[in-house]
Amino acid sequence: MKTAFITGATSGIGRASVLAFAAAGWRVVAIGRRTERLAELEGSVGANQLHCCGLDIRDDAAIDAAFKALPEPFRRPDCLINSAGLSLGRGPFQGGETDQWRAMIETNIFALLSMTRRLLPSLIESKGIVINISSSAASYPYPNSNVYGASKAFVTRLTLGLRSDLHGTGVRVTSVEPGMVETEFMLVRSGGDATENDRTYRGANPLAATDIAETLLWIAERPARVNINRIEIFPTSQSLAGFQVARDA
């Protein structure tokens, strides 16, 4: 039985991935901050397949302690899914708040780096796979996506760099770059504004978190000779917009 480590496991793509991988027969180490939601996952997945780590992935000491306490069957990762991430703030860069920038950079970039570096020795040993959840915002900017989009561009670029550095090890590396997915993304970004969240997704027929989770499972279960470098996934309802043009009054 293979083992997947999944961050951001308490909501959205991360949670859906825990359930999808467990249903496919994987062991899963589910990592997330909200312990009550981890408890819900424990009620849905058998104890022989799921081990939960309730922690903030920006907390290096907490990660070290949790990994040292892993039960033996969960100690050898075959797959790492870096799903934890967030977007904060809805305004342009010139009005941005530095504490929100710092939170995005620490979560979307540095915590991902730290988690990946910790698990790479074991992933090299198992000839496993790293799947990074980036975003279409990494390639296609939209108004007010500034720091979030830049952080995801880092993830996409890092994925390619890892592929190069891990050449010859047998480790596969993939960047998954979704468009609109209905999760708690907008609820977090808007500071809990349910009206804004509803307005974003209403009538848009966005992707579901399960759509992405099924794709991640497909990637992870390709033969060892197959590496998916990067994959963009959009809902059928979403396509690329035209350039903005500012006109004189």
Does residue 62 lie within any of the structural domains? yes
| pLDDT attached to residue 190 | 81
Pairing state of beta strands 129-133 and 50-54?
Answer: unpaired
**Domain interval for residue 218:** 3-233
Q: What confidence score (pLDDT) does residue 41 get? A: 92
In a domain, 36, yes or no: yes
pLDDT at 249 exceeding the cut of 80: no
243 within a domain of the structure (yes/no):
no
Q: Is residue 244 part of a domain?
A: no
Q: Note whether residue 9 is domain-resident.
A: yes
pLDDT bucket at 154, cuts 50 / 70 / 90: very high
pLDDT number for residue 18: 97
Among 60-64, 67-71, 181-185, 211-215, which stretch is predicted with the lowest mean pLDDT? 181-185
Q: Structural domain tally of the chain?
A: 1
Mean pLDDT computed over every residue of the chain = 95
* More confident position, 74 or 90: 74
Give the tokens for residue 221.
Answer: 């279960």
- Any domain includes 205: yes
Confidence of residue 198 (pLDDT cuts 50, 70, 90): confident
Q: Confirm whether 246 is domain-assigned.
A: no
Q: Report the CATH number at residue 141.
A: 3.40.50.720
Does residue 186 or residue 172 have the better pLDDT? 172
Annotated active-site positions, please? 148
Q: How far apart are CA 238 and CA 204, in angstroms?
A: 8
- SS3 letters for the chain? CCEEEEECCCCHHHHHHHHHHHHCCCEEEEEECCHHHHHHHHHHCCCCCEEEEECCCCCHHHHHHHHHCCCHHHCCCCEEEECCCCCCCCCCHHHCCHHHHHHHHHHHHHHHHHHHHHHHHHHHHHCCEEEEECCHHHCCCCCCCHHHHHHHHHHHHHHHHHHHHCCCCCCEEEEEEECCEECCHHHHHCCCCHHHHHHHHCCCCCEEHHHHHHHHHHHHCCCCCCCCCEEEECCCCCCCCCCCCCCCC
Specify whether the CB–CB gap between 55 and 34 falls below 8 A.
no
> Are 58 and 31 contacting, i.e. CB atoms less than 8 angstroms apart?
no
Give the mean pLDDT of 46-70: 94
What is the pLDDT, as a whole number, of residue 196? Answer: 83
> Does the structure show a pLDDT above 90 at 52?
yes
Residue 197 binned pLDDT confidence (cut-offs 50, 70, 90): confident
Q: Cβ neighbours of residue 69 under 8 Å, at least 6 residues apart?
A: none
Q: Which residue's structure tokens are 């990637």?
A: 219
In a domain, 208, yes or no: yes
